[in-house]
Amino acid sequence: MSKVTPTGSWKEYAKELGLNLQRRRSDRGLSQEQVAYSAGLSRYTYQKFEKGESMPGTPANPSLRNIMAIAQILDISLDQLIPAPWPDLRAK
């Protein structure tokens, strides 16, 4: 069950991150395969990140290492890639 917070849910956040990945990749004129392999990922894994899902109905949760590798391939900083504001993930 997705927990909704004042700044949104993780599911919504993962979707927004996926849209950012897609926009930035497209801006660079790169294919999903080019970004994925350059970042040390499978194309399938990268596609799931862009979709914002890991499995149907389950939001993506990429590691910091993966996000950093993708940001380096796209030649952008993490704050240009990661959506703001962050969702509140503190356990209540």
pLDDT digits (tens, 9 = 90+) for 15-44: 999 999 999 999 999 999 999 999 999 999
pLDDT at 76: 96
Q: How far is CA 54 from CA 41, 57, 75, in A?
A: 14, 8, 25
Residue 86: its pLDDT value, please? 86
Please tell me the distance from the alpha carbon of residue 59 to that of residue 2, in angstroms, as a whole number.
9
Q: Where are the domains of the chain?
A: 10-79
Q: Which CATH superfamily is domain 10-79 in?
A: lambda repressor-like DNA-binding domains (1.10.260.40)
pTM value is 0.84
